[in-house]
Amino acid sequence: MPNTLFLRPIANPLVVALAYDRLCTFEFGIATEIFALPRPEMGENWYRFAVAGVDEGEMRATGGLRFQVDGGLDLLAEAGTIVIPGWRGVDSPVPKALIEALRAAHARGARILSFCSGAFVLAAARLLDGKAATTHWRYTEALTERHPEIGVSPDVLYIDAGDVLTSAGTAAGLDLCLHLIRRDFGTEAANLVARRLVVPAHRDGGQAQFIRQAVPRAHEKSRLGPLLDHIRENLGADHSVATLARRTGMSERTFLRRFEAATSMTPARWLLAQRLGKARDLLEETNTSVEEIAALAGFGTTGTLRHHFRLHLSTTPAAYREAFGNRAAQ
């Protein structure tokens, strides 16, 4: 059993998940697994959980399961975080009472997360107007056509717009939840939950929803796998396409094609993601100076590090450490 973490308290730890007739069982299961499962190793400041029923009377989930809830939409008035675990159909109307309850909760300061088709509920409530959002790739065209005021991204896992957060289909809800844990409690807490779930601790929100060639051919995997490990272990080095191609024994053109097929990213974009991840880990878990972090993560100068933090994370390294840093390391 791991030692108990001492998590900093958040303003309102109550997470309320919506439940409705024809509930998306898998997406709802993600919400309960993350937020409702007892986690004594997280200490006393972990989330609390409740389920709010959207419909009156008996409700069934996909697969025919019948379920009970803790209360009605009035629970949303108490929530610090609300989860919309999918929706019963992209063409299914969203009840006016649900729209009003979500808008009131949002105005009060609650964060709202949607999984998969749950983005259509947020859109109906006009809570995504003027914001970037995503949903399952099968539905992005429909969401764009019906709500042109939303900046729909069809090829990302999740988008954190601050007070509204949307994820792509099905399992991407796990990535979004781990991101929220990381945002609320830091890397150590997110990693601990990920280990218990037996999933990757962090997949960047900008990663593609699906990779057309998920696993490289065997002879290519034997060359690309060690290369990726080498880069991660030497982020401070200068990695050009020419040197990386030579290391794999490929021509530059072949290397670029095979690398993108395997990772769904260009080498430059993948390397930047690794460097940002390394910098974030160091800021969260150590008291290493920003200057040294810039060098260790491969950015070279603090100016370059700050530039990429502003561009990709909309913050500065110092502000990021203040928000997410492990107090024990500081």
* Dist. CA 111–CA 164, nearest whole Å: 6
- With CA atoms as reference, report the closest residue to 24 among 73, 70, 60: 60
This prediction has a pTM of 0.69
Pick the CATH number of 14-197 from 3.30.930.10, 3.40.50.720, 1.10.3720.10, 3.40.50.880: 3.40.50.880
Is the pLDDT at 73 greater than 60? The verdict is yes
State the Cα–Cα distance between residues 47 and 111, nearest whole angstrom: 14
Better-scored residue on pLDDT, 87 or 153: 87
Using DSSP, how many helices (H) and how many strands (E) does the chain show?
Answer: 13, 10
Yes or no: say if 136 and 116 are a contact pair by the CB < 8 Å rule: yes
Distance CA 194, CA 203 (A): 11
User: How far apart (Å, rounded) are the C-alpha atoms in residues 86 and 118?
Assistant: 4
Which of the four pLDDT bands, split at 50, 70 and 90, describes residue 6?
confident
Segment among 64-73, 287-296, 316-325 with least mean pLDDT: 316-325
Q: Per residue in 296-325, pLDDT tens? A: 999 999 999 999 998 887 789 998 888 777
Whether the per-residue pLDDT at 140 is higher than 90: the answer is: yes
% of the chain at pLDDT higher than 90: 66
Q: Is the CA virtual torsion 266, 271, 276, 280 positive or negative?
A: positive
pLDDT, one tens digit per residue, over 9-50 is: 999 999 999 999 999 999 999 999 999 999 999 999 999 999
Residues 16 and 14: their CA atoms lie apart, in Å, by: 6
Strand-pair partners of 112:
82, 164
Task: Give the model confidence (pLDDT) of 219-270 as tens digits.
Answer: 455 578 888 889 989 999 999 999 999 999 999 999 999 888 777 788 998 8
Is 116 part of the annotated catalytic residue set? yes
Q: Which member of 116, 127, 164, 227 is catalytic?
A: 116
What pLDDT, on the 0 to 100 scale, is given for residue 325? 74
Q: What's the token pair of residue 175?
A: 């990535």
Tokens at 31, concatenated: 């919400």
120: closest CA among 139, 138, 97?
Answer: 139
Residue 139 in this model has a pLDDT that exceeds 50: yes
CATH of domain 269-329: 1.10.10.60
pLDDT tens per residue across span 157-206: 899 998 999 999 878 999 999 999 989 998 889 888 988 888 876 666 55
